[in-house]
Structure 1
Amino acid sequence: MELFRPRYYSPKEVSVHNRPGDLWVSYLGRVYDLTPLAKEHKGDLLLKPILEAAGKDISHWFNPKTKDIQTHIDPLTCCLKYYTPQGRFIHIPPPLPRSDWANDFGRPWWKESKYEVGILSAKTRRIRIINTLTSQEHLLEVCSEESIWEILRRYLPFNAHAASYTWKYEGVNLDMNWNLQQNRIPDEDEEFYELGMDADAFTPAILLYFNDDLTEF
């Protein structure tokens, strides 16, 4: 049973949900679980483009200003229609009127907030977490927007008592409600890239110092 659902997800985390029975996509900075949609329309040919997009970002399907599917002037009808070069999909009307197409489905899936599960991280970061009590070290990929508390929850599979430690960077206690940048843990990836250096060789380290109490999530 999942006790905690993150607010932010990395593209890598979205990419593992790439099957009909576990189908996530991201678009316009948000992450959506379309598994219920895939189950509801199982066997429908119009599901194919969505299945092919499983685990991917489909922001290019949308007009960022209107938050709706891209449109164009249809050369056959000279009318404004949805533009779907990847193939027509669920809730997209046919190019010409058809008696067998039901349009009573309500809101199209891309306007339904019920599928939203979180926010797509604008940038991920790699950090080392070192337990000074056991000398164990773990490398984590985290979302740059996440607070230290949220990073702690990512670390729980490695240490269920992570909240019983004081978290420090360069000897300074971290504010658990702030993110890495707010805690002055710099993101120097771009600088290392410009210098032709391997940023992974300079991954910042957060040191954990054990307290007396044992806190377990």
Structure 2
Amino acid sequence: MAVSMPTEDAGAMRHSRYYTPSEVAAHNTAADLWVSYLGRVHDLTPLLQDFPGDVLLKPILEAAGQDISHWFDEGREDIRIEIDQFTNCQKYHTPRGRFVHIPPPMPQSDWFNNFGTPWWKDPKYEVGYLSEKTRYIRIINTLTSQEQVLEVCSEETMNEILERYLMYNTHAASYTWKYDGVKLDMDKTLEENGIVDEDEMFYELQMEPDSFRQSILLYFNDDLTEL
């Protein structure tokens, strides 16, 4: 069995509407920092650049690449509120410590609240959605016998999965994609194409899904299309 390698352009993946948790986790440095919360993915790198060296960035840096939905009240879509045991007043719940745009517990003359929209409500940082359920699918190139197992988002269409596969084959659009002998509708998701998610069934049967991975077969069309 031949295993294909990513092309030199592997890092240049197109913008995606949905991201896997592992993709978010890869952006975990001060120079490239993503987090997810309430089902959305946010690139906070520009925020860090606006506050270089600020101690209030520490909780955000500690959360780099992680899901921080537990920081939020889902109903209000805002940071959780609690009662301060000393002042008996409401304050934001920040167990990792106060962070950027969170007001100080007591009045301070050096704190300015004219920043506009707090970062967690500002849509300019949003880059896409966090997948509610990811799936692993095996893609087999019948021309070269190369195969790859990709982690994809269940919400993605086949065209979006094709874009993920471009790092292994830039001519992926020159193939007819089939499952169980049937040509796939590239504008539909795996589920909509009848490729059902069997993870729960394997879990109930105590079987290892890696041994029974669903496979999509690619048949070359001989037109060398590149996306």
2:49 to 29, 39, 53: 39
1:70 to 71, 80, 85: 80
Asked if structure 1 preserves the Cα contact closer than 8 Å seen for 2:140 and 2:148, the reply is: yes
Q: 1:58 to 1:3 in 2, by over 3 A?
A: closer
1:50 to 60, 71, 89: 60
- SS of alignment partner, residue 190 of structure 1: helix
- Residue 184 of structure 1 corresponds to which residue in structure 2? 194
Instruction: Name the % identity.
Output: 66
1:106 is the counterpart of 2:122: no
2:141 to 110, 131, 143: 131
For the aligned residue pairs, the C-alpha RMSD in angstroms reads: 1.0
In structure 1, stretches of 5+ residues that fail to align are none
- SS of alignment partner, residue 164 of structure 2: helix
Task: Kindly provide the CA deviation profile for residues 46-104 of structure 1, in whole angstroms up to 9, marking residues without a partner as x.
Answer: 10000000000000000000000000111122111111111100000011111111111
Q: Paired residues, what number? A: 217
- SS of alignment partner, residue 126 of structure 1: strand
Matches within 5 A, 1:202-217: 202-217=212-227
Deviation beyond 2 Å, 4+ runs, structure 1: none
- Residue 5 of structure 2 corresponds to which residue in structure 1? none
Give the counterpart letter for 1:66 in structure 2: R
Task: Kindly provide the CA deviation profile for residues 15-53 of structure 1, in whole angstroms up to 9, marking residues without a partner as x.
Answer: 010000000000000000000101111111110000000
TM-score scaled by length of structure 2: 0.93
- SS of alignment partner, residue 37 of structure 1: helix
In structure 2, stretches of 5+ residues that fail to align are 1-8
Task: Kindly provide the CA deviation profile for residues 147-167 of structure 1, in whole angstroms up to 9, marking residues without a partner as x.
Answer: 000000000011111101100
Asked if structure 1 preserves the Cα contact closer than 8 Å seen for 2:137 and 2:149, the reply is: yes
Distance apart, 1:211 and its partner CA: 0.8
1:121 is the counterpart of 2:131: yes
TM-score scaled by length of structure 1: 0.98
Distance apart, 1:3 and its partner CA: 6.4
